[in-house]
């Protein structure tokens, strides 16, 4: 087991940058070798169509048989017997899945829509059980299901388009560079408490490694959000001359005039100042 507090203390005690780099390199090597690799699993919203309960309604049987297994994918995030460094790796996996991978994390509405066939099936069973089976229109049920799955497909496309374009290798490089900053910026519990007035609440299972894990995952998330913000195209700001309405080449937010109007405005100010000074000069002569 790797004790994170010992790793961080070793890094802080070293003086040579080469030795410090070696500690970080060893840490990242162990991190990427974690047994908690990035894995996706296929899951299903599923139900068994009970032909007996739907007896006399072959239209419903045929309908629900088409939709009894709706596939979706998840990022694996539950592992047994993990070390503290594994918790950091799991969080790194989840961040990649949420912001980058195009097959997982598509929002609550998406998964709710995928459950629609299952919900409609049990809704039909209840109506039949309560003696209202005759009012079920299989075409209306199918329309509801198709509409839901169509909307789910739209969300899937929308979510895919907004995901960050980044390979796993590029993501790994970003995390490695973030970890260097995390080591350099690390503060012990006592230092953090002294600086921020934070009072630690320790229980039987809490230790300094828990604090370090939280520090790592929050910092990595923050650096990733900063990268996403900085990688977005800067919004183009258009400004127009307040006199002639010509579009300006914006070099600063204070610019109000085009070059021609700015020159005229400057000359106008010079003439006004000259007149004011001339008037003051004439008064002093009299």
Identify the weakest region by mean pLDDT among 8-17, 81-90, 126-135, 231-240. Answer: 231-240
CA 96 to chain centre: 9
Whole-number pLDDT of residue 225: 95
pLDDT in tens, 208-226: 889 999 999 999 999 999 9
CA separation, residue 241 to residues 234, 259, 270 (Å): 22, 9, 20
In this prediction, residue 81 has a pLDDT band, given cuts at 50, 70 and 90, of confident
Q: What is the DSSP string of 65-130?
A: HHTSEEEEEEE----SS--HHHHHHHHHHHHHHHHT-SSS---HHHHHHHTHHHHHHHHHHHHHHT
Q: Which of the four pLDDT bands, split at 50, 70 and 90, describes residue 189?
A: confident
| Sequence ranges of the domains in the chain | 4-231, 235-286
**What's the number of CA atoms in the CB half-sphere (13 Å) around residue 47?**
20
The span from the CA of 237 to the CA of 133, in Å, is: 61
Kindly write down the DSSP assignment for every residue of 228-255, as one continuous string. Answer: HHHHSPPPPP--B-TTT-PBP--SSTT-
pLDDT single digits (tens) 119-178? 999 999 999 999 999 999 999 999 999 999 999 999 999 999 999 999 999 999 999 999
Q: What pLDDT shows up at residue 201?
A: 59
pLDDT attached to residue 203 = 55
- Amino acid 202: pLDDT: 54
Backbone angles phi, psi at 247, to 5 degrees: -65, 135
Assess whether pLDDT exceeds 90 at residue 246. Answer: no
Whether the predicted pLDDT of 188 surpasses 60: yes
pLDDT at 1: 77
pLDDT number for residue 194: 80
Contact predicate 67/117, CB 8 Å: yes
> Pick the residue with more confidence: 104 or 191?
104
Q: What integer pLDDT is reported at residue 266 of this predicted model?
A: 84
100 — pLDDT class (breaks 50, 70, 90) = very high
pLDDT of residue 85: 94
pLDDT value at residue 60: 96
22-57 tens-digit pLDDT:
999 999 999 999 999 999 999 999 999 999 999 889
List the single range of 53-57, 109-113, 115-119, 201-205 with lowest mean pLDDT: 201-205
Give the dihedral of Cα atoms 21, 22, 28, 34; nearest 10 deg.
Answer: -170
Split at pLDDT 50, 70, 90, the class of 281 is low
Q: Which residues contact 46 (CB under 8 A, 6 or more apart)?
A: 68, 69, 70, 118
């Amino acid at each position: 087991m790797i004790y994170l507090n010992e790793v961080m203390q070793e890094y802080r005690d070293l003086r040579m940058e080469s030795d410090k780099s070696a500690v970080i390199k060893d840490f990242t090597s162990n991190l990427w070798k974690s047994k908690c690799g990035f894995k996706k699993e296929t899951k299903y919203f599923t139900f068994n169509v009970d032909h007996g309960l739907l007896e006399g309604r072959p239209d419903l049987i045929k309908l629900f048989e088409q939709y009894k297994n709706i596939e979706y994918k998840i990022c694996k995030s539950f592992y047994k017997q993990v070390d503290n460094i594994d918790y950091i790796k799991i969080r790194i996996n989840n961040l990649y899945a949420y912001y980058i991978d195009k097959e997982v994390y598509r929002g609550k509405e998406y998964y709710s829509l995928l459950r629609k066939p299952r919900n409609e099936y049990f809704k039909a069973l209840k109506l039949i059980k309560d003696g209202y089976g005759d009012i079920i229109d299989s075409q209306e049920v199918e329309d509801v299901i198709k509409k839901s799955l169509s909307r789910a497909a739209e969300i899937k496309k929308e979510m895919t388009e907004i995901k960050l374009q980044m390979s796993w290798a590029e993501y790994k490089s970003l995390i490695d560079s973030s970890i260097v900053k995390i080591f350099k910026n690390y503060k012990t519990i006592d230092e953090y408490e002294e600086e921020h007035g934070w009072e630690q609440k320790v229980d039987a299972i809490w230790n300094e490694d828990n604090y370090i894990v939280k520090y790592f995952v929050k910092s990595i998330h923050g650096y990733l959000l900063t990268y996403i913000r900085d990688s977005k195209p800067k919004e183009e700001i258009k400004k127009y001359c307040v006199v002639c309405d010509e579009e300006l080449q914006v070099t600063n937010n204070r610019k109000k005039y085009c070059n021609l109007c700015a020159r005229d405005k400057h000359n106008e100010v010079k003439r006004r100042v000259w007149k004011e000074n001339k008037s003051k000069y004439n008064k002093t002569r009299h």
